[in-house]
Amino acid sequence: MKGRIEKMITSLEHPVRYQLPISDQVLDLNPLIGRDLTLTYTGTISCIACGRNTNKSFNQGHCYPCFKRLASCDQCILKPELCHFHEGTCREPEWGKAQCFGPHVVYLANSSGLKVGITRASQIPTRWIDQGASQALPIFEVADRRTAGLIEAQMRSFVSDRTDWRKMLKGAPPPLCLKTERNRLLDGVREFVDQLNEKSGTVKAKAAETETVCEIVYPVDTHPEKVKTHNFDKNPSVTGRLTGIKGQYLMMGDIVFNIRKFAGYEIEIDY
C-alpha cells in the first residue's frame, strides 16, 4: 500500500482498535502486530489542510501558508487560556465558533503518571487514547475552550499538564485512584471556578457528574526497553516487527515513531 498517511483512527475496544488512513484507503493495524513491516517515505509531503505539496511539514502535516493562516495552528490550540476570540483577532472566526464554543471537559488522566488536560466533549475518549492514557476521568464540564483552559492553567499548581511520552511508551503506569485525586483537585480550584461563574453571570463550568473511570488497554506485545525515535526525514525507510501501538505511536521493538508527526507524508507499507 502507498499513499499519504494521517493520524490513526481509534476506537475504544479491548484492546484499542487502530486504523491507519492511507490516502483513500484504511489499513487495520491490530492484525499486523507480530508481523514484519517495512515503511518507506517516498519523499513527497502534501498539506493535510489544502493538499498542496510542500518541502517541509509544519505543525503535524501543514504547509507553511496554512500553518500561518489556520486557527487550528494558532498558539491558543496548545495553550487554550490564551484564546483571543473575544478580542476579535481569531484567524478564522467561524471555525472558532464551531470548535471552541461547544462543550469541553477538563479531565484527569494517568499516562506516564497523573496529568490534567482538556478536550472537546465530542473527543472523548479519542483524546485520551491519543495521549496514551491508561485511565481517565472528567473533572469539569465546561461551556467553552477558553474557560476550560483557564481552569487547566489554575490546576497546574497542583498537577502536571504534561505526559512523559518516553515513559508512557515503556509500559502501563501504576494504577491510580482518580476519584480521590479528582476530589483533592476539586477542593483546590473550587473557589477559582466559582469566581469564573460569578464573573460571567452564568454557569460556565460545573463538576462532572460521571463516576466511571475509563480504563484503556493498548495492543502491545512488548514495550520498548530503550525508546529510539525514527525520523523519516533523516532515514526514509524502517523495517522491523510491529510489537505494539500506543497513543499515536507505532513500536518496532525499541524503535518508535509518532504517526501524527508525519501526517501528510507519502509512505509505502509492505507487510
Which whole number is the average pLDDT over 134-145? 98
Read out DSSP for 101-153?
A: SS-EEEEEEESSSEEEEEEEGGGTTHHHHHTT-SEEEEEEEESSHHHHHHHHH
Partner residues linked to 25 by β-bridges? 22
Residues 197-229 have pLDDT tens digits of 999 999 999 999 999 999 999 999 999 999 999
Confidence of residue 26 (pLDDT cuts 50, 70, 90): very high
Exposure of 15 by Cβ count < 10 A (0-12 exposed, 13-18 middle, 19+ buried)?
A: middle
Residues 102-130 have pLDDT tens digits of 999 999 999 999 999 999 999 999 999 99
Which whole number is the average pLDDT over 135-150? 97
**Residue 26 C-beta-side C-alpha neighbours within 13 Å:** 9
Residues 226-253 have pLDDT tens digits of 999 999 999 999 999 999 999 999 999 9
Residues 6+ away with beta carbon under 8 Å from 234: none
Sign of CA dihedral 100, 102, 108, 109: negative
Partner residues linked to 252 by β-bridges? 255
The answer to whether 252 and 241 are in contact (CB under 8 A) is yes
Which whole number is the average pLDDT over 60-69? 97
Q: Which amino acid is at 71?
A: A
As a whole number of angstroms, the distance between CA 151 and CA 242 comes to 39
Partner residues linked to 115 by β-bridges? 109
Tell me, yes or no, if the pTM score tops 0.85: yes
Average pLDDT, the chain: 97
Percent with pLDDT over 90 in the chain: 100
